[in-house]
A = this chain, B = another copy of it.
Amino acid sequence: MKSATSFLLAARQCEIAELEELARTGELVGATGRFIHALQRERGICNVFLSSHGSRFASQRLRQVEECEAAEREVREQFEALETDAQRVRNGSRLFSRVAVVLHALDGLPALRGRIARQALSARDATVAYVKLVTGLLAVVFEAADSATDPKVSRALVAMFNFMQGKELAGQERALGAGVFAAGYIDASGQQQWRHLIESQQACFRVFTDFADTEVLRADQASRDPAALAELERLRRIGCSTRRELDPNLSQAWYEWATRRIDAMRAVEDVLARHLRELCEARIAQARSELRDQRAMLAALASDPAAETGASFGPHLERSVLGMVQEQSRRLQQMSDELDAVRTSLNERKLVERAKGLLMAHRQMTEDDAYKALRQMAMNQNRRIVDVAEAVLSLAEVLPGGSG
C-alpha cells in the first residue's frame, strides 16, 4: 500500500517532471523568439518593397526569406519534439490548438510570399498577414507561460512574453512610422494610433521590468543606445505632433533607427532565453538533490532500531516524517501563492481576450474590430485597455443577453 512517504516522494517527482517540461518549453519559446524576429524583419522589408513598387529591397527580401525559412525549420523541429501524446503535456489542449493555428498559417506562407513577389497585394495587406502570423506565435508563447507551475520560471516566462510582445509592438510602430514618413502625411487618427502603439509598448516593458531578473535588466540597460533613442524620440515627436507635411526622406532614417533599437532587443531576448534555460537547470538540479536527501533520510529512518519496536515508526521518527510532510506542504503552498501573484499579469491579458470575445459575440464584430473598439475606448477615456475590458465585462453581467 502506498504510504505518506511514497506520496511525498511522488509529489517531488512530479515537481521534477514539471520542471523538465518547462525546460523544453523554454527551448520552444527561444526558437519562437528567433523566428518572430526574422518574420518582423521580413515584414518590414516587404513593406518597403511593395510601397516602392518593387524598386527597393528586392534582393534584401530574398535574403531575408532564406533566413526566415531557417528560423522556421528550427521552430518546426521544436513543434515536432513536443510530445503530442495525450496526458503528457500540461495545458496540452490549448497549446496544441495554438500550434495548429500557427502551422496552418505557416502552410500559407509560401503562397503569401509568391503574391508579394508578384506585387499582387498591397503593403498594408501584407503587413496584416505577417502581424497575424506573429500574433499566433506569441499566443503559443503565452500558453507556454500560462502552463508554468514553478513561480520563478513563471516570472521569467512572463517577463519574456511581455518583452516579446513589446518588441512586436515596436515592430508595428516601425512599419507605421515608415509608411507615414514615406507618404509624407499623417492624420489625427494615425497620430492617435501611433501614440497608442508607444503606450502599449511601455506597458509591456513595465511588466517586463517588474518580472525580469536583475541580470536580464542589466543586459537590457546596456543594450540601449542613448543616441539612437534620442533620434527615435525626435522622429516620433515630428510624426506624432506635426500637422504640416512630412519629409519623405525621413522614412529611411526612421526605419534604420527603429531597426537598430529592435535588433538590440533581439540581443536582450537571447539573454532572457539563456536565463530561462539556466533557471530551469538550476531548479531541476535543486529538486533532484532534495529528492535524494529525502530518500536518504527515509532510508535511515526505516533502518533505525526504534522503528522495530512499534507497529509504525517510533515517536522520534514519527516526528521526522511529520516534519518532512509539513515542510513540503508549506513549501508547495508558498510556491503556489507566489505563482498566483505572478499570474495576475497573465490574467490581465485574458480579461482583454474575454472582452474581445464578448464584443465579437454580441456586436457581431470581427476580432480585429473588437480590439480596435476596446483600444478606442481606452484612448477616449484615457484608461488602460485592461480597465476598459473589465468595465465591458462587468457591464455585460448586468445587461440582458449577457454571458449569464
Q: Which residues of A contact B (CB under 8 A)?
A: 1-8, 10-18, 21, 76, 79-80, 84, 86-101, 103-104, 107, 149, 312, 321-322, 325-326, 328-329, 332-334, 336-337, 340, 347, 350, 353-354, 357
For this chain, the copies found in one complex come to: 2
In the bound complex, do residue A14 and residue B104 qualify as a contact, i.e. CB atoms below 8 Å apart? no
Q: Which residues of B have CB within 8 Å of A322?
A: 104
Q: How far is the CB of A143 from chain B (nearest CB, A)?
A: 9
A2's partner among B13, B79, B329 (CB-CB below 8 A) is B79
Q: Which residues of B have CB within 8 Å of A10?
A: 84, 86, 92, 96
In the bound complex, do residue B15 and residue A93 qualify as a contact, i.e. CB atoms below 8 Å apart? yes
| Bound-complex Cα distance A104 to B18 (A) | 25
Contacts known (A87-B21, A94-B332, A312-B107); A100 close to B337, Cβ less than 8 A: no
| Bound-complex Cα distance A67 to B138 (A) | 55
Q: Which residues of B have CB within 8 Å of A104?
A: 4, 321-322, 325
In the bound complex, do residue A14 and residue B329 qualify as a contact, i.e. CB atoms below 8 Å apart? no
Q: Show 17 residue pairs from A and B whose CB-CB distance is below 8 angstroms, ordered by the A residue.
A: A1-B76, A7-B97, A8-B96, A10-B84, A10-B92, A11-B100, A14-B89, A14-B92, A87-B88, A91-B149, A94-B332, A97-B328, A104-B321, A333-B353, A336-B350, A337-B350, A340-B350
- Minimal Cβ-Cβ distance residue in B for A79: B2
In the bound complex, do residue A99 and residue B7 qualify as a contact, i.e. CB atoms below 8 Å apart? yes
Q: Which residues of B have CB within 8 Å of A312?
A: 107
Q: Which residues of B have CB within 8 Å of A149?
A: 91, 93
- Minimal Cβ-Cβ distance residue in B for A21: B87
Q: How far is the CB of A336 from chain B (nearest CB, A)?
A: 6
Q: Which residues of B have CB within 8 Å of A3?
A: 103, 107
A340's partner among B103, B326, B354 (CB-CB below 8 A) is B354
| Bound-complex Cα distance A91 to B15 (A) | 9
Q: How far is the CB of A3 from chain B (nearest CB, A)?
A: 6
Most chain B beta carbons < 10 A, residue from A93, A104, A340? A93
In the bound complex, do residue A86 and residue B14 qualify as a contact, i.e. CB atoms below 8 Å apart? yes
A1's partner among B80, B99, B326, B328 (CB-CB below 8 A) is B80
| Bound-complex Cα distance A401 to B154 (A) | 23
In the bound complex, do residue A93 and residue B1 qualify as a contact, i.e. CB atoms below 8 Å apart? no
| Bound-complex Cα distance A326 to B84 (A) | 19
A7's partner among B84, B329, B332, B350 (CB-CB below 8 A) is B84
Q: How far is the CB of A103 from chain B (nearest CB, A)?
A: 4
- Minimal Cβ-Cβ distance residue in B for A90: B90
Contacts known (A84-B2, A104-B321); A97 close to B11, Cβ less than 8 A: yes
- Minimal Cβ-Cβ distance residue in B for A312: B107
| Bound-complex Cα distance A93 to B7 (A) | 9
- Minimal Cβ-Cβ distance residue in B for A324: B100
Q: Which residues of B have CB within 8 Å of A2?
A: 79-80, 84, 103
Contacts known (A1-B80, A3-B103, A97-B329); A87 close to B340, Cβ less than 8 A: no
A337-B353, A340-B347 are known; give 7 further A-B pairs, CB within 8 A. A2-B103, A4-B104, A7-B96, A93-B149, A94-B332, A97-B325, A100-B328
Q: How far is the CB of A340 from chain B (nearest CB, A)?
A: 6
Most chain B beta carbons < 10 A, residue from A14, A17, A86, A357? A14
| Bound-complex Cα distance A84 to B17 (A) | 12
Q: Which residues of B have CB within 8 Å of A7?
A: 79, 84, 96-97, 99-100, 103
Q: How far is the CB of A129 from chain B (nearest CB, A)?
A: 13
Q: How far is the CB of A140 from chain B (nearest CB, A)?
A: 11
